[in-house]
């Protein structure tokens, strides 16, 4: 079996370098442009960081492919193939970045034959480096990570996000999902504004579960393997196998908690990341 440790180490080193660009812009005024909705933002720093990461990787691994949030937003076709592929979110938590709310992350996942080999989430302001390699465990700043193992939903802290969708169906589904969980009851519902960092909280045991509908593959591809390698469970919100292109995810401390959340929440329609005009009535990225 191929060993992708060299790629992992390279990914970690460029994530750390790129975080200096994010941090130096963090306190500055930003020019903000809108993407798919008034809450889906991009800045010059998102675009610059993605270019820095892709050009560094391309120099070292010229055969590798890329799926980058801002390249796709600029019109690049999104397709996950069997080739070694880097899936990049240059700033996960762009709304936080614009407002200087201190949770922003660089998220990098690496797939081969469509299977994630490693994931890196660098929470820049917190200076927290989460990473995991398939079969090698998950780590935070070099220390092993373990999910809480909690089995009882009524003792859980659950993290979720109200994403960029603002249509009636999405809003009422998101708010009623939160209401149903609070009525179970769970101990609490939280949101940090970055899917990647939210999900890593499950890997640390600080949260017991995370679910999200409407995010994209670059938001959660890296943190999914970090949760799995920390002993957690990752699945689709309908209880089926996790599919990073489906735009639906549950990450949990145990199968029991993941299943319970899948029973309680509902999904609103959104096109898969790798498919457009699927007939659901919402739009995709391709
Ligand atoms: C967003 C963040 C946010 C989530 C959105 C994502 P971005 O990513 O992860 O927490 O709610 O769905 O799109 O745009 O900041 O990279």
- What is the side-by-side order of every strand in the sheet holding 85-92? 65-68, 85-92, 105-112, 115-123, 128-133, 138-140, 143-144
| pLDDT value for 97 | 98
94 catalytic? Reply is yes
Per-residue pLDDT of the chain (286 residues; tens, 9 = 90+): 689 999 999 999 999 999 999 999 999 999 999 998 889 999 999 999 999 999 999 999 999 999 999 999 999 999 999 999 999 999 999 999 999 999 999 999 999 999 999 999 999 999 999 999 999 999 999 999 999 999 999 999 999 999 999 999 999 999 999 999 999 999 999 999 999 999 999 999 999 999 999 999 999 999 999 999 999 999 999 999 999 999 999 999 999 999 999 999 999 999 999 987 666 656 567 5
Q: Which of 50, 70, 92, 161 is catalytic?
A: 92
Q: How many angstroms does the Cα of residue 40 sit away from the middle of ligand 1? A: 8
283 catalytic? Reply is no
Alpha helices in the chain (DSSP H): 5-26, 44-60, 69-73, 94-99, 168-183, 195-204, 217-229, 255-264
Q: Which of 50, 69, 161, 274 is catalytic?
A: 69
Phi, psi (5° rounding) for residue 170?
-65, -45
92 catalytic? Reply is yes
Task: Give the CA distances from residue 96 to residues 67, 204, 245, in Å, rounded to whole numbers and listed in that order.
Answer: 22, 22, 24
Choose the residue to mutate in 49, 163, 237, 248 for probing ligand 1, maximizing ligand atoms within 8 Å of C-beta: 163
| pLDDT value for 178 | 98
Q: Hey, how many other C-beta atoms are within 10 angstroms of the C-beta on 54? A: 19
| pLDDT value for 36 | 85
Return the residue whose CA atom lies nearest to atom 10 of ligand 1: 194
CA angle 149-155-160, nearest 5°?
Answer: 85
Count, residues in the chain: 286
178: CB partners within 8 A, 6+ apart: 160, 189
The three-class DSSP label of residue 111 is strand
> Which of ligand 1's atoms lies nearest the C-alpha of 96?
15
């Amino acid at each position: 079996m191929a060993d992708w440790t060299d790629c992992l180490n390279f990914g970690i080193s460029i994530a750390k370098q790129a975080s200096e660009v994010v941090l130096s812009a963090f306190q500055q005024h930003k020019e903000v442009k809108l993407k798919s909705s008034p809450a889906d933002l991009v800045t010059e720093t998102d675009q610059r960081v993605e270019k820095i990461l892709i050009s560094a990787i391309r120099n070292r691994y010229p055969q590798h492919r890329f799926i980058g949030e801002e390249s796709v937003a600029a019109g690049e076709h999104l397709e996950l193939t069997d080739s070694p592929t880097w899936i990049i979110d240059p700033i996960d938590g762009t709304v936080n970045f614009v407002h200087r709310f201190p949770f922003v992350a660089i998220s990098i996942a690496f797939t081969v034959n469509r299977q994630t080999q490693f994931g890196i989430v660098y929470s820049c302001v917190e200076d927290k480096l989460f990473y995991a390699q398939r079969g090698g465990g998950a780590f935070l700043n070099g220390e092993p990570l373990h999910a809480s193992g909690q089995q009882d939903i009524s003792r859980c802290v659950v993290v979720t996000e109200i994403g960029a969708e603002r249509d009636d169906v999405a809003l009422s589904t998101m708010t009623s999902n939160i209401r149903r969980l609070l009525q179970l009851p769970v101990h609490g519902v939280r949101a940090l504004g970055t899917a990647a960092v939210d999900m890593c909280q499950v890997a640390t045991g600080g949260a017991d579960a995370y679910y999200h509908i409407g995010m994209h593959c670059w938001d959660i591809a890296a943190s999914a393997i970090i949760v799995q390698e920390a002993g957690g469970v990752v699945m689709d919100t309908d209880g089926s196998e996790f599919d990073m292109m489906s735009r639906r995810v549950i990450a949990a401390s145990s199968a029991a908690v993941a299943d319970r959340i899948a029973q309680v929440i509902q999904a609103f329609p959104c096109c898969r990341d790798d498919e457009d005009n699927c007939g659901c009535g919402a739009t995709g990225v391709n």
